[in-house]
Amino acid sequence: MILEAQDLRKRYGAYVALDGVSLAVREGEFVSIIGPNGAGKSTLINLLTGVLAPSEGRVRFKGRDIAGIGPVALTRLGMARSFQLVQIFPELTVLETLQAAAVSRLRRGARLFASLRGDRQVQSEALEVARLFGLADRAHSPARALPQGDKKLLDVASAFSLRPEIILLDEPTSGVSTADKHTVMEILVGAARRIGLKAIIQVEHDMDIVFGYSDRIIALHQGKVLADAAPAVIRADARVVDMVIGRRAPC
């Protein structure tokens, strides 16, 4: 088990955002978390990534309790994330963005007088990820000048640049045109295979993407786990279809 959450509860005053959620992610799995707005998906992601501390319960990553340890420490442990709303460095180029991730991974940020240009490992890692994500031809473009889909891709690519063991993707195809969604996912899955990622967790609303790529789906509703099963089982679960998906699941 690479990531495990036990009986997670998160309260904001009287409001209970998550109510006793347990889940486990094994090596090699692609897990999707689905649920309507307000189901607690973002809270769950923030708890799993150590941004928030749970009111009750535990989150364990590689056997270590990570509740509230913060994103920097989690990154060091081998977990990365991308955000629902695109997060980029507007004034940095594509390559600089990926270099920043490589610098962080290789722990070279304290090098005050070293030349970034002269660091071959950082340069080659950044370029490799740019190629993996099809961003190499725009390597020197400022991130702010990229089309929206490429901004999303860069956001995800920078998380991959950390070479994590597990990655949590909050709506990886939001803001991407319908025609490009599968292309983005193919790039993402290919890159995951290439860098030897052990597990992917995604929060996603697009059911074509969810059912097309997941090994397992966790459906949340009103802060609780409604179902946790393989796509075929979820597809046949009338409660999930009615309460979460809202229509017949894609075949």
Partner 1 sequence: MRTPLALATVGAALLVVPLLAPAYYVTLMLPFMAYGVVLLGFNLLFGYTGLVSFGHALFIGIGAYTGAVLTTKLGVRHMELILPAAALAAAIVAAPVGALCVRYVKIYFGMLTLAFGMVFYTFLLKFYRLTGGDEGMRMLRPYLFGSEWAGFNKTAYLVGPYYYFSLGVLALATLLMWRIVASPFGLCLKTIRDNPLKAESLGVSVPRYRWSAFMISAVYGAVGGALLAPPTGNVDPTLAYWTHSGNVVFMVLLGGFSSFFGPLLGAFAFIFLQDTVMSVFPYWRLIFGAILAFIVIFAPGGLMGLFARRRGPVEVSRE
Footprint on this chain of partner 1 (rule: CB under 8 A): 70-72, 75-76, 80-83, 87-92, 96-97, 99-101, 103-105, 108-117, 119, 122, 144, 155, 158-159, 161-162
C-alpha closest to that of 155 among 80, 205, 208: 80
The nearest distance, CB 207 to partner 1, in angstroms, is: 27
Residues 6 or more apart whose CB falls under 8 angstroms from that of 187 comprise: 132, 133, 134, 153
The nearest distance, CB 103 to partner 1, in angstroms, is: 4
- Residues 229, 217: Cα–Cα separation, whole Å: 6
Is the CB of 77 or the CB of 241 nearer to partner 1?
Answer: 77
Is the CB of 102 or the CB of 226 nearer to partner 1?
Answer: 102
- Residues 59, 19: Cα–Cα separation, whole Å: 14
Q: Tally the C-alpha atoms within 13 A of residue 7's C-alpha that lie toward its C-beta.
A: 2
How many helices (H) and strands (E) in the chain? 9, 10
The nearest distance, CB 119 to partner 1, in angstroms, is: 7
The nearest distance, CB 36 to partner 1, in angstroms, is: 26
Residue 169 phi/psi, 5-degree rounding, is: -115, 120
Helices 120-132, 178-195: crossing angle, 10 deg rounding: 140
The nearest distance, CB 171 to partner 1, in angstroms, is: 15
The nearest distance, CB 127 to partner 1, in angstroms, is: 15
Is the CB of 6 or the CB of 123 nearer to partner 1?
Answer: 123
Token pair listed for 202: 């995604």
Is the CB of 24 or the CB of 106 nearer to partner 1?
Answer: 106
19 exposure class (CB count in 10 Å sphere: 0-12, 13-18, 19+): middle
Is the CB of 22 or the CB of 121 nearer to partner 1?
Answer: 121
Residue 73: other Cβ atoms inside 10 A:
12
The nearest distance, CB 143 to partner 1, in angstroms, is: 8
Q: Tally the C-alpha atoms within 13 A of residue 42's C-alpha that lie toward its C-beta.
A: 7
Is the CB of 77 or the CB of 227 nearer to partner 1?
Answer: 77
C-alpha closest to that of 164 among 232, 245, 229, 101: 101
Is the CB of 155 or the CB of 206 nearer to partner 1?
Answer: 155
